[in-house]
Amino acid sequence: MGHDLKAFEEVPFMLLSDILRRNAKLFPGKTAIAFENGQISYASLNQRVNRLAHALLGQFLGLGDRVAILMTNRPEYLECYFAGSKTGITMVPINYRLSEQEVSYILSDAMPRGIIFEESYAELVGEFMRSHPHLEFGICVGKTVPGWAMDYEESLRSACDSEPEARVSPKDLIYIMYTSGTTGRPKGAMITHRNLLANSFTHCIETNLRNNDTFLTAAPLCLTGGINKTIGSMLMGVTVHVEPRFELSRFLKRLVEFGISHTFLVPAMIIFMLELPEIRSFDFSRLKMIMYGSAPMPLARLREALDLFQCSFIQTFGQTESSPVLTVLRPEDHKTEGPQSKRLLSAGREATGVEVRIFDENDLEVPPGVIGEVVARGDNIMKGYWNLPKETEETLRGGWLHTGDLGRADEESYIYIVDRKKDMIISGGMNIYSREVEEVLSSHPAVMESSVIGVPDDRWGESVKAFVVLRKDMTCTESEIVSFCQDKLGRYKQPRSLVFVESLPKNTSGKVLKEELRGPFWKDRERKVN
């Protein structure tokens, strides 16, 4: 049964900026953010955020105006979020790995009046300033500032550090975050203060964070998983260590050197660690918890990771539209032996403050064991999609977020995700869920990871095609893997063809871009999706 967060309606501590004000008061000298070139205390961070807020207000911005952010992970990214909170300005974080065309679309759709960017993107942003007349100003973070842009640090120095007096409500937007757009144009999920803070409280409750803990993130702060885990940790006044991006050697060095207690990783990052020959030479004794999510974690790799790190693991499942966590597989559920070990294949149970159910095509709840669409509701669910009223109505119909994920619940309310609606394969009228096939493939000792799609088949409509990445220094043939699957999968589910690849195409969240894999096979044919 879901937990009710209505009590928070009476609590004034419901703006993102309240986190910073509180920590600056209670832990002024404590390090808030540690990064590559130094650290900053909570008191100094609050002062810098106030200055940035006044600098933005000085550009005649106000409640509801938008400012885009184009940067890799760095302290200024968090300063932007907090400054937006103190002014009512809505931030538009842009994934730095998007193409120029994709970024241009987001700028045209969100219509921000300004953009805060890292110096390495100066040339690109300069082109956007010329092609998007609604961009009135640019603020550059770095040492080499183009003549047409303002210098970030100079803007702070010339602004006052008093608390802004803007009137901001928990129902106001804190950011518009665009979905990955793997099957079409990205949609801007409108996230309010209440959405973000509700899930931040969930993060603290589920991870049992304490003030003396430390959190390390290399997950992009332009994505909801990265920002939720980071803000949720700062809610407890912990020190967050921010890596610009995930580089395995740097990440491991910081993890060990600083005795990090908590970190968040996408499955691909964990797999990279497991593949490192010298990984068992590192001392992980001070690591208390690894949070993981954003993409499916192969069961075989999860078992290896549990054995290697010997710490608590917690899995989160969700999406941008839910700020993002919907379900949690808690530490006590990570058992590798006995009847409860089957739970490792699940996404856990509904998170604190969230209600999750399984609906059929008529939006009626189905019994345990029956596959349907995963739906959810709670204070963490987005306000809607920016400029897309029809899509908003469809996705949030009946007061429930319709996730587009197919799953089933067991008698104990553990949720098992079987596929995305759009990824389900229909062969000879039979439904095939790619996650099931991928789990079998990834359990082969030579397979590092895999992805399965449906390709056109003149006889069956679709057939199963697998893309397989082998472990380093290991070899295997197609016939060996197909044979491996024969006694583990029904005949109609078995791969009819298989390709060995060096890597799988992924987005910044670590999700495999199946549309890229499918594209060449469906280029001149229509794929019907239920």
Domains and CATH numbers, the chain: 13-168 (3.40.50.12780), 196-420 (3.40.50.12780), 424-522 (3.30.300.30)
Query: What distance lies between CA 191 and its chain's CA centroid?
Result: 14
**Percent of the chain residues topping a pLDDT of 70:** 95
What distances in angstroms separate CA 445 from CA 117, 309, 475, one per listed residue?
Answer: 44, 20, 10
Task: Give the whole-angstrom CA distance, residue 158 versus residue 55.
Answer: 8
Note the Cα 320 to chain centre separation in Å.
7
Does residue 397 surpass a pLDDT of 80? yes
- pLDDT tens, position by position, 163-197: 999 999 999 999 999 986 544 678 999 999 999 99
- Is the predicted pLDDT of residue 3 greater than 60, yes or no? no
Concatenate the DSSP letters of all residues of 264-285 into one string.
Answer: EE-HHHHHHHHH-TTGGGS--T
Tens digit of pLDDT for each residue in 39-68? 999 999 999 999 999 999 999 999 999 999
Q: How far lies 457's CA from each of 117, 271, 464, in Å?
A: 47, 33, 9
Neighbours of 440 (CB within 10 A): 24
pLDDT the model gives residue 10 = 46
pTM value surpassing 0.95: no
Residue 458: per-residue pLDDT: 79
> Considering the chain, what percentage of its residues have pLDDT values greater than 90?
80
Confidence of residue 526 (pLDDT cuts 50, 70, 90): low
Rounded-to-integer distance, Cα 498 and Cα 475, Å:
14
Average pLDDT over residues 437-461: 91
Kindly indicate the confidence band of residue 266, based on its pLDDT and cuts at 50, 70 and 90: confident
Q: Is the peptide bond before 324 cis (omega within 30 degrees of 0)?
A: yes
The secondary structure element, H or E, covering residue 124 is helix 122-131
What does the pLDDT look like over 291-349, one tens digit per residue?
Answer: 998 877 888 899 999 999 999 999 999 999 999 999 999 999 999 999 999 999 999 99
How far is residue 152's CA from residue 138's CA, in Å, rounded to a whole number? Answer: 9
Q: Provide the β-strand partners of residue 90.
A: 66
Q: What backbone torsions phi and psi does residue 351 show, to the nearest 5 degrees? A: -75, 160
Q: Residue 283 pLDDT > 60, yes or no?
A: yes
Spatial distance between the Cα atoms of 358 and 343, rounded to a whole number of angstroms = 18
pLDDT level of residue 525 (50, 70, 90 thresholds): low
What is the C-alpha to C-alpha distance for residues 196 and 232, in angstroms, rounded to an integer? 9
* pLDDT of 329: 97
Average pLDDT over residues 221-238: 94
pLDDT of residue 180: 67
CA distances (Å), 187 to each of 156, 320, 378, 386, 387, in order? 32, 10, 21, 7, 9
Give the model's pLDDT for residue 18.
94
Given this model, what pLDDT does residue 1 score? 40
CB burial of residue 130 (10 Å; 0-12, 13-18, 19+): exposed
Q: Which helix (H) or strand (E) holds 377?
A: strand 372-378
Band of pLDDT at residue 420, cut at 50, 70 and 90? confident
224, 232 contact by CB (below 8 A): no
Q: Give DSSP secondary structure letters for 477-491.
A: -HHHHHHHHHTTS-G
- pLDDT for the residue numbered 478: 93
Q: What does the angle CA 440 – CA 456 – CA 510 come to, to the nearest 5 degrees?
A: 45
Amino acid in the structure at residue 47:
Q
C-alpha 119/C-alpha 108 separation (Å) is 22
Question: What is the structure's pLDDT at 37?
Answer: 85
CB atoms within 10 A of CB 77: 24
Helix axes 248-257, 267-275, angle to 10 degrees: 90
Beta bridge partners, 139, equal: 116, 150
Supply the pLDDT for residue 298.
85
Residue 2 has pLDDT above 50, yes or no: no
